[in-house]
Each structure stands twice: as structure tokens, then as C-alpha cells.
Amino acid sequence: MRYIYIILAIILFYSCEKEVEVDLDDPDKVLAVDGRVTDLDTIQWVKLSYIQNYNSTDLPDFTEENNAIVKLFEDNDEVGTLVFNDSTERFEIQFKGTVGKSYNINIVTEDGEEYLSEPEMINYVGPIDSLWSVMEIDPFTDKPNYYVRMNTFETPGIGDNYQWKTYINGEYQDEPGDITAADDAFVDGQPILGIDIYILSEEEFAELQSESPDGRVFVRVEQTAVTRKYFEFLNEVVIQTVFVGGPFDPPPAEIRGNVYKASDINDRALGYFQGISVKSAITEVVP
């Protein structure tokens, strides 16, 4: 009989859930920073915006601070000033970072507020050995999925941290659920074979085909070596954005980035400026 009571309690617990809309005040003005410098000879960039009301559906305004001054430093020596690009709505500089060196930025906003980022060292990352796609039936749905799989090798020496970024037909997949990161705690110096780096459902693949000018779907994967601090930042982003909507979710917490006001290291901007080593590979997803 007590099992019936337990089942009834569970049913009542979930049946009592009710959606409540909360009218939140606009937040204080907090700078949001997103940027990186890589070991590729390419455009390095920084995007600036401000946080919005939680219920806002507007896209961030990356032009509000287009007259800010953003400088890049390598091992504390100034490299140059980034220039705002109206087309991409970000600050840019042509530059190639170097593995083993540290990078940070200095930002002065239009109202004279100064921000600094903590130094980020670029750590070495090995190449992707191979990248391919395969169609298989999902055992849970009995429907076909397209699996993008990868072979790679972990660099010997414990303490490495990685992120894999996926681009589909040139578009970065930036939803919280797309974040893929890992450390080398259990794979130090070993080959990593046949891991699923991205999965497309049959419906997603068909939609991508219809949107592509030639009906082809290409997936490019960036394998990046990240610092431990950025790895922990990514984990916190996942915890606070993916695991939401249920009764057993973790409590809300600050996602602590590495950009802060020059006048107070504890007064933090939102976001992160990172230094990364990048290797990439591309494959076509075929039916």
C-alpha cells in the first residue's frame, strides 16, 4: 500500500507544476565580452555588448560600444589596437598568436571605464586525424541520424583541456547544448577513436539540404586546446543553461569570466577572452 502512496505523491508533485511569468526589472548595465586570439594567421576579434532583460527577445547590440578602444597584448607587450568592423560588428586585428605565449586585452569604453582580461596562454593542440559522417538508426527512436565522427590523438602529459566547435555550412553551432569540452584525465596520451562529435536528425539534415544553394551539407570541426580556467567557465555555462526547467536543477550561480574593471578586480564583465590553439577538419554529410 505504501508504494501506492509514493506513486500518488510523485504524480501530485508533477501535476502541481504551473508556469508563472515573472516581470523582471531591467538589469544594471554590465559589459559583455566575447573574443579570442588563436595561433592561426587570421583575423583575431573581440565583440562587445551589454546584458539585457532576462525576458528580452532582442539580439545583442554589438554596435553600442563601436568607439571603444580595444588593445591586444602578448606577454604584457602591446601588439596593436583592434579596429571596429561595421560589417561584422566586432573589433578586429590581423595577427597570429604563438603557442606558449600569453594574451590579454585592455578595453576602454566610450564613457571612460577601463577593463582588463586575465592573461590566457595558448597551449598546443594536435591535429584531427580523420573526420567523417555515417547514417545509422537511432536505437531509441528507430529513426536515422547522421553521426559526425572523429579520430584524434591526445597529447601526452596530464592537464590538457579541449573544446570542439562545430560549423555547419560555415555557421557556428552556438546553442548551449552544442558545447563539447573535455579534459585528458582518462585519456592522457592515448588515441581517441570514433567519437561522435555532432549528431543531426533526419529532419535537421533535410532542412540543411533545402537551405544550401547546392543541396550539400558540410561540417567543419575545430579542435582547440583551452586553458583550465576556460574549461571550467564552459562547464558552468552548461550547468546554468542546459540543466534548467526541472525540479532538481542546480541553483543559479554567477558564471565568472576573466574580464574585470581595472578599478576593481571583483567587478566582472560577463563573458571571456580566450587564447587558443586550433586545428580543424571538414567533411561532407551524405545520405
Angle at 121 between CA 119 and CA 124, to 5 degrees: 170
Per-chain mean pLDDT for the chain? 90
Residue 88 grid coordinates: 561584422
Has residue 11 got a pLDDT over 60?
no
- The mean pLDDT value for 246-266 works out to 85
**Sorting pLDDT into bands at 50, 70 and 90, what band is 5?**
very low
274 half-sphere exposure, CB direction, 13 A CA radius: 21
**Sorting pLDDT into bands at 50, 70 and 90, what band is 180?**
very high
Q: What is the pLDDT of residue 240?
A: 86
Residue 208 to residue 200: CA distance in whole angstroms = 10
Could you tell me the domains of the chain?
31-121 (2.60.40), 128-252+278-285 (2.60.40)
Has residue 178 got a pLDDT over 80?
yes
**Sorting pLDDT into bands at 50, 70 and 90, what band is 75?**
very high
- The mean pLDDT value for 31-35 works out to 97
- Of residues 57 and 213, more confidence is placed in 213
- The mean pLDDT value for 68-89 works out to 98
Contact present, 95 and 188 (Cβ < 8 Å): no
- Phi-psi domain of 191 (left: phi exceeds 0; alpha: psi -120 through 50; beta: other): beta
